[in-house]
Amino acid sequence: MVLNHTSDQHPWFQESRSSRDNPRRGWYVWSDTDTRYQGVRIIFVDTELSNWAWDPVSKSYYWHRFFSHQPDLNYDNPAVREEMWKVMQFWLELGVDGFRLDAVPYLVEREATSCENLPETHAVLKELRAKLDKYFPGKMLLAEANQWPADLRPYFADGDEFHMAFHFPLMPRMFMGLKLEDRKPITEILKQTPHIPAPCQWCLFLRNHDELTLEMVTDMERDYMYDQYAIDRHMRINVGIRRRLAPLLDNDRRRIELMNGMLLSLPGTPIIYYGDEIGMGDNIYLGDRNGVRTPMQWDGGWNGGFSTADPESLYSPLMLNPVYGYQAVNVQSQKRFDHSLLSWMKRIVKVRKSTNVFGRGSIEFLYPANHRILAYVRQLEKESILVVNNLSSTAQAVELDLRRFKGNILIEMFGRNIFPRVGDLPYLLTLGPYQFYWFRLRRI
């Protein structure tokens, strides 16, 4: 649910712009000049030149953090807040479990600030959460806030604001670590991630409907990511890369499995973007971010099973090439085979669900001298799980310091075979390219 803005075609805006005396005038952020809120960054750098747009109808400027046809609502206005609560109420009464609240950092503006993450914004959100808890207990709020981990922490407050938030900074670093063949970017960002209140949870993801954002990385890192993942200019938009998971990973089945393995074993709740479970491709020649929003490929037949309408009338063209086209990649064909990506995804989800440790447990990184290995231990009460990931394209050997777990037998979680017991010496493991292990540690 998008809280921050509406379309400029929305009746509210049409009214607001019609005259300065209109009752809805104060629902949006108007100004006679475009010099207010100087220095605030532009988000859609590829299309917008300013956060202010000139409205010829009311002869004044209106504030928009996103496209100019998406004017920002004015959250200083209690009427706006009341109305947005009513919108939420509508859906809650219909039975939704929760909301992904989009663009939450930008709700409120104040002079001489970045207009992001302001205390007033948090106040608005806390208000909404309070109402939610009062009238619709057991429903969830998930924040979409592309910020550094330290700046994300306030969105959890004391457990009285958001239940969950996307961990944006981690995601590009997982891709970076894979290309660098070095775990350093991943462990460093997780070390910087603050603790969150007990009832709260991070939301992890590899891709979504937007571009793979590179806002929360350094310039050097951004250049590296562009050179490695988006050498073709068509692949870049705003400050990010508009490609799907499979094309980003060169359709390499091992890398896709490894990334999903990390997604499902790092602390947080994983989100899988539609189509990535079958390895769908993208169309970088479509405008904006539409290249990753092509129709879901259900089967190899009419419109990929997406719709019975005329193909020419579809909102977006289907993927047609021999590698990612709907005849090659679709749910129907993958369901038939055990070795398909879809079947594998189902298996790994099942393994993850077999324990609470992944979802609720703590994380402790091991720092083996071989920097291409990302290894960590997840623990919840008495249960411990060791995860070892080989980020490199070549076979690796690693010695892990597992002295704390001496006496435990390692049980590999997919095949449930036993591995040697932990002794005094460093535990030697060898891994093939991009291979990973999940081991349950068991003392008998």
Partner 1 sequence: MPEESILTDEFLRQLINVGEADILVGVPTYNNAATVGQVVQTIRAGLLKYFPRERAVIVNADGGSRDQTPDLVRGASINDAQVSSDIHALRTLHCISAEYPGEPATSTALRTILASADLLRASACAVVSPESTTIEPDWIERLLRPVYQGKFDFVTPLYRRHKFDGLLIRNLVYPMTRAFYGKRVKEPYASEFAFSGQLGSHFLGQEIWVHEAGRTGTEISLTIAAIAGGFRLAQTFLGTKPHLDARSADLVAAMRQTVGALFWSLEPNFQLWSSHADSQAVPTLATGEEVTLEPLRINRKRLLGMFHSGVAELEPVLKQILSATTISELQGIATLEEDEFSYGDELWARTVYEFAASYHKSVISRDHIVQALAPLYRGRAFTFLVENRESSGEEVEQNVETFCLTCERLKPSLVELWNGKK
The catalytic site residues sit at 102, 144
Q: Give the separation between CA 243 and CA 313, rounded to whole angstroms.
A: 24
C-alpha pair distances (Å), 309 with each of 303, 315, 441: 8, 11, 53
Return the residues of window 385-424 that contact partner 1 according to CB under 8 A. 392, 394, 396-397
Site for partner 1 in 185-244 (CB under 8 A): 185, 187-188, 191, 218, 220-221, 224
By C-beta, is 38 or 218 nearer to partner 1? 218
**Nearest distance from C-beta of residue 235 to partner 1, angstroms:** 19
> 27: closest CA among 91, 83, 69, 67?
83
Which CB atom, from 133 or from 227, has the smaller least distance to partner 1? 227
Of 49, 94, 198, 369, the residue at the interface with partner 1 (CB under 8 A) is: 369
Residue 370 engages partner 1 in binding (rule: CB under 8 A): yes
Q: Return the C-alpha torsion angle 128, 132, 134, 136, nearest 10.
A: 160
Range 281-300, binding partner 1 (CB under 8 A): none
Task: Quickly count: other Cβ atoms within 10 Å of residue 418's Cβ.
Answer: 13
**Residue 13, exposed/middle/buried by CB under 10 A (0-12, 13-18, 19+)?**
buried
CA 386, 391, 394 angle in degrees (round to 5)? 115
Which residue, 208 or 392, has its beta carbon nearer to partner 1?
392
* Residue 252 C-beta: closest distance to partner 1, Å: 19
Closest distance between partner 1 and the C-beta of residue 438, in Å?
21
Q: Are 6 and 80 in contact (CB under 8 A)?
A: no
Of the residues 10, 153, 371, 421, which one makes contact with partner 1 according to CB under 8 A: 371
Could you tell me the end-to-end alpha-carbon distance of the chain, in angstroms, rounded to an integer? Answer: 50
HSE on the CB side for 311, CA within 13 Å?
10
Sign of CA dihedral 321, 323, 328, 329: negative
Query: In whole angstroms, how close is the CB of 167 to partner 1 at the nearest point?
Result: 18
Applying CB under 8 A, the site for partner 1 has a residue count of: 24
Among 15, 76, 83, 182, binds partner 1 (CB under 8 A): 182
Minimum Å gap between C-beta 32 and partner 1 is: 43
Instruction: Report if residue 425 touches partner 1, rule: CB under 8 A.
Output: no
Q: What are phi and psi of 287, to 5 degrees?
A: -75, 170
CB under 8 A, 24+ apart: contacts of 294-298: 294/318, 294/319, 295/326, 297/326, 297/329, 297/330, 297/331, 298/330, 298/331, 298/332
Residue 339's identity, in one-letter code, is: H
Q: Is 367 in the site for partner 1 (CB under 8 A)?
A: yes
Looking at the Cβ atoms of 37 and 376, the one nearer to partner 1 is: 376
Which stretch, 96-104, 178-186, 283-291, 348-356, contacts partner 1 (CB under 8 A)?
Answer: 178-186
Phi, psi of 82 (to 5 degrees): -60, -45
- Kind and range of the H or E run holding 52: strand 52-55
Residue closer to partner 1 (CB basis): 67 or 365: 365
The beta-strand segments (E) located in 272-323 are: none
The stretch near partner 1 (CB under 8 A) out of 83-91, 269-277, 284-292, 363-371 is 363-371
Q: Considering the complex, state which of residue 50 and residue 192 has its C-beta at the smaller distance from partner 1.
A: 192
The verdict on 365 binding partner 1 (CB under 8 A) reads yes
Residue number, 184 or 335, with CB nearest to partner 1: 184
User: Given the rule CB under 8 A, which of 35-43, 97-105, 145-153, 183-191 is the region that contacts partner 1?
Assistant: 183-191
Residue type at position 332: Q
| Residue 221 beta carbon to partner 1: minimum distance, rounded to whole angstroms | 6
Instruction: Please give the residue ranges that form the binding site for partner 1 (CB under 8 A).
Output: 176, 180, 182-185, 187-188, 191, 218, 220-221, 224, 365, 367-372, 392, 394, 396-397
